[in-house]
Structure 1
Amino acid sequence: MLKNKDSIEDGYALYHSVGHRPNGSQEMAAAVSDFSLMWTAPIPDVWPKALSMLEEFRQSFSMLLGPNASSEEIGLVDSVTSGFLRIIDGLGSDYLKGKSILIADDAFPSLHFLLQGMQKLLKFKIRRVAIRQGQYHVENSDYIKELKNEDVALALVTWVSSTTSAMVDLEAIATDAPKNCILVCDATQCIGVRKLDLPNRFDALLSTSLKWLCGTAGAGVIWVRKSRIELFEPKFRGWFSQENPMNWDIDNFHLATNSKRFENGTPNPLPYVAGLPGLNWVVQGGNILQEKHNSRMTGELIELLVENRINLVTPIEPNARGGSVMVNVGTIENAKRVIDDCARESVLIDNRGSILRFSPGILTKDFAIECFVSCILRNI
């Protein structure tokens, strides 16, 4: 039971999972309600209205990728895992057979599971970059060393780790990547709370409207640079993979000339409708507010953790970490005790094994920092 229900938002530090923002619940509810009223109205243009909302989402998301990104380069998928599947499926065995896909051991586990399932089907090898003994995240130098192997055809680059908040050096990876290697960035864990400067060498990006974009599950994106789109010929396709979705001639199928080719059957507008208010808030300046607030709070928290000799697994340097701070408390039992103790003080955190995750967002108040540290000291 929370000690003070009025302070739930003040102590909410789970932005690495679900992001919150000022008036977020009201605006999301209003967007979903308006959509429901439109969807159930006896009007002939329900689908054109719904599809225009999807186009608005594409346009807003493209603004996070810089002035050279286009909304036409963004395809809609239901998750990051689904987006990565579209990349692999689009390349196919003709491109991947006998070659390797590079992935770090601290990448999101779901993407590892996907590769393990697709490996035999498309006849590629999985080249994993290990975490050094005694450390918690993959070193940039170790990733780049493996990247230089001639058999690496595709490299998944996790911008920020979900279990340590360690941030990779995208520019260094882009500089050292072999010419024929396709670079894909998973930006999910940090986009919206740190500025993303995606080097031109990167070919694709995956993300979702969750976390710092203050959206909901089910609204994922796959961005592929226009100049690289012809490398991908998805087999998982449908009527919305076409240049003209209204084409009904089954003998005249043509893939869209942009990232819409990664879409397939009838689209699901609702997650994008629900996520659009949060995304718009981010691109209209919320990202700057989040970064400033989060950087100050995580910096102060790290100082306290170091001062109290708590086992910090997140890099100390600001330019080497994302918006979360993680600590290792030794055992899962210790982690659960700290989580319960924090909850009694209206501070909400979570864990991955023995690692506690604290991610302060725009609504998190300063008291949560001292509470988090005090609860750790009381329970380990």
Structure 2
Amino acid sequence: MADSIRDQFPLLGTCVYLNNNSTGAVPKGVESVLSDYWETLRTWRDGVWEGWHDGLDEYLGALAAFIGAPPGSVAVDANLSTLLARIASCFDYRAPRNRVVTTDLEFPTVPFIWKAFRRYGAEVDVVGTGGPHLDEDELLRRVDERTLIVSVPHASFSSGATVDLERLVEHAHSVGALVVVDAFQTVGVMPLDVTALGVDFVLGGAHKWMCGVGTAFLYVRPGLLPGLEPAATGWQAGDRALTFQPSAGYAADARRFTGGTPFPLTALISRVGLELLSGVGIEAIRAHSLVCTERIIAHATEAGIPVVSPVEPHRRGGVVCLDVPDGEAVKYRLAARDMICSWRTYLRIGPHVYNTLDEIDEFMAALVAVTR
């Protein structure tokens, strides 16, 4: 599996890179994109925007296909924070349906944004876990007829524990609530079919498992689009944006969630990695990921290192988190040996489709050595 595309990623020749849950490797095909971009800047003509918009549209189409979304239901922007704030700005937070239910396993941007909307009447209910895994039964108990939005991660950035989205979406919809999913930690390494799930909003991005840089995406369930009018907006969200005439209303499709003038380079770069992953196929990527993470767990168990992430394959994302004493220092000791991972409360090890089992064996041997 890894050998088929491994030579496309120069970074892998410099180290054992198992930090894909934080920042994924970028393929060498990006070099030509950067060269073309510089040539465009060097010989500037306004007409380049037509080609850039075509490139953005092609990236949107590829993204939609990758997550099982219909055309016109995906928008991109600089980061997840921008897109989540646009979702939040669509709603009138009047009681009794003004509750936003979220969890304490979110990446910090998520609760920060929802708490900012308390000034408009949002009542934020953070479901605690008492540990690195989500208490899904308690989450469902807190989602009732007063709930406007349920905002959850597909997998926790701090433990890799996944959420049963099918069960959550079914319950939330039964009481009239909408579901926002942060899939940044899973898209590109776990299958995600947004249409089959019936989920309302999905957010993700390119710079982790999708082998891109600096761009995030938002999927919106098509049936919701006509009733959503983001207050945090920009001229590209209008129905006549590219005519450069005043728009009468919002674009009919997910472009209504875009903002001002786009920066096309990051999408053009990110499309290269997306095409490689699409060529492999997400089911094959997931199968390889599970084999790799199982190998990490086996090594850790043998060495007596506590495993924080779920050991059950169906509840485990692409990362294995280990409870290593002085973990941040351990991360730096490993980096000195060209063994790259990350640390966020726990040591996080995230192999991807281009990593080999030999690399994992080498990395785990080094981990045992530096912790002793």
The answer as to 2:136 corresponding to 1:140 is yes
- How many residues align? The count is 360
Deviation at 1:374, TM superposition (A): 3.8
The question of whether the paired residues in 2 share the 8 Å contact of 1:97 and 1:123 is answered with no
Gaps (5+ residues) in structure 2?
A: 1-9
What is the distance in 2 between the residues matched to 1:139 and 1:308?
29
Gaps (5+ residues) in structure 1?
A: none
The question of whether the paired residues in 1 share the 8 Å contact of 2:331 and 2:341 is answered with yes
What is the distance in 2 between the residues matched to 1:308 and 1:145?
39
> Residue 277 of structure 1 aligns with which residue?
272
> Residue 3 of structure 2 aligns with which residue?
none
Deviation at 1:98, TM superposition (A): 6.2
> Residue 5 of structure 2 aligns with which residue?
none
What is the distance in 2 between the residues matched to 1:266 and 1:253?
18
What is the distance in 2 between the residues matched to 1:8 and 1:344?
16
Deviation at 1:155, TM superposition (A): 0.8
The question of whether the paired residues in 1 share the 8 Å contact of 2:107 and 2:157 is answered with yes
TM (normalized to structure 2)? 0.90
Question: The residue matched to 1:212 in structure 2 has which SS?
Answer: coil
Alignment of 1:302-313 (within 5 A): 302-313=297-308
The question of whether the paired residues in 2 share the 8 Å contact of 1:16 and 1:189 is answered with yes
> Residue 14 of structure 1 aligns with which residue?
19
The question of whether the paired residues in 1 share the 8 Å contact of 2:305 and 2:322 is answered with yes
Read off the aligned partner of 2:123 and give its amino acid letter: K
Alignment of 1:1-380 (within 5 A): 9=14, 11-20=16-25, 24=27, 26-66=28-68, 69-93=69-93, 99-120=98-119, 122-132=120-130, 135-147=131-143, 149-177=144-172, 178-198=174-194, 199-217=196-214, 219-250=215-246, 253-285=248-280, 287-330=282-325, 334-353=326-345, 355-378=346-369, 379=371
Against the structure 1 CA distance between its residues 211 and 42, is the aligned structure 2 distance closer, same or farther, given a 3 Å change threshold?
closer
What is the distance in 2 between the residues matched to 1:305 and 1:272?
38
The question of whether the paired residues in 1 share the 8 Å contact of 2:97 and 2:147 is answered with no
Question: The residue matched to 1:215 in structure 2 has which SS?
Answer: coil
Read off the aligned partner of 1:181 and give its amino acid letter: A
The question of whether the paired residues in 1 share the 8 Å contact of 2:234 and 2:260 is answered with yes
Question: The residue matched to 1:260 in structure 2 has which SS?
Answer: helix
What percentage of aligned pairs have identical amino acids?
22
Read off the aligned partner of 2:223 and give its amino acid letter: S
Deviation at 1:321, TM superposition (A): 0.7
The question of whether the paired residues in 2 share the 8 Å contact of 1:19 and 1:212 is answered with yes
What is the distance in 2 between the residues matched to 1:249 and 1:296?
54
The question of whether the paired residues in 1 share the 8 Å contact of 2:181 and 2:202 is answered with yes
Deviation at 1:249, TM superposition (A): 4.7
The question of whether the paired residues in 2 share the 8 Å contact of 1:20 and 1:362 is answered with no
Read off the aligned partner of 1:150 and give its amino acid letter: E
Deviation at 1:39, TM superposition (A): 4.2
What is the distance in 1 between the residues matched to 2:20 and 2:36?
26
Question: The residue matched to 1:213 in structure 2 has which SS?
Answer: coil
Deviation at 1:285, TM superposition (A): 2.0
Note the aligned Cα RMSD (angstroms): 2.3
Question: The residue matched to 2:72 in structure 1 has which SS?
Answer: helix
What is the distance in 2 between the residues matched to 1:142 and 1:367?
41
Against the structure 1 CA distance between its residues 97 and 144, is the aligned structure 2 distance closer, same or farther, given a 3 Å change threshold?
closer
TM (normalized to structure 1)? 0.88
Read off the aligned partner of 2:148 and give its amino acid letter: A
CA deviation profile, 1:96-152 (whole Å, cap 9, x unmatched) = 7861111110011111111222221x21111111012xx2121222222222x2211
